[in-house]
Amino acid sequence: MSRSKFVLIGLFSIYLGACSSDVFLVRNGNMPDEQKIAEVKTGQTKEQVEALLGTPSIVSTLDQSEWIYMSSTVRKVAFLTPKVVSRDILSIDFDKNGKVATVTMLNQENGENISIDKDKTSSGGHDIGFFKKYFGGVGTYSPLGLPKQK
DSSP 61-81: TTT--EEEEEEEEEEEETTSP
Q: Summarize the confidence of residues 86-102 as an average pLDDT.
A: 91
Q: What's the number of domains the chain is made of?
A: 1
Task: Quote the mean pLDDT of the chain.
Answer: 80
Q: How would residue 124 be classed by pLDDT, with cut points 50, 70 and 90?
A: low
Question: Environment class of residue 75 by beta-carbon count within 10 Å: exposed (0-12), middle (13-18) or buried (19+)?
Answer: middle
Q: What spatial distance separates the first Cα and last Cα of the chain, rounded to whole Å? A: 85
Q: Render pLDDT for 132-147 as a digit per residue (tens, 0 to 9).
A: 777 777 767 666 666 6
The predicted structure's pLDDT at residue 13: 72
The CATH number that applies at residue 52 is: 3.30.1450
Q: Summarize the confidence of residues 108-130 as an average pLDDT.
A: 70
The span from the CA of 118 to the CA of 102, in Å, is 33
Q: Is residue 32 part of a domain?
A: yes
> What global pTM score does this model have?
0.59
The predicted structure's pLDDT at residue 51: 92
- pLDDT greater than 70 at residue 20: no
Range of the domain at 93: 20-110
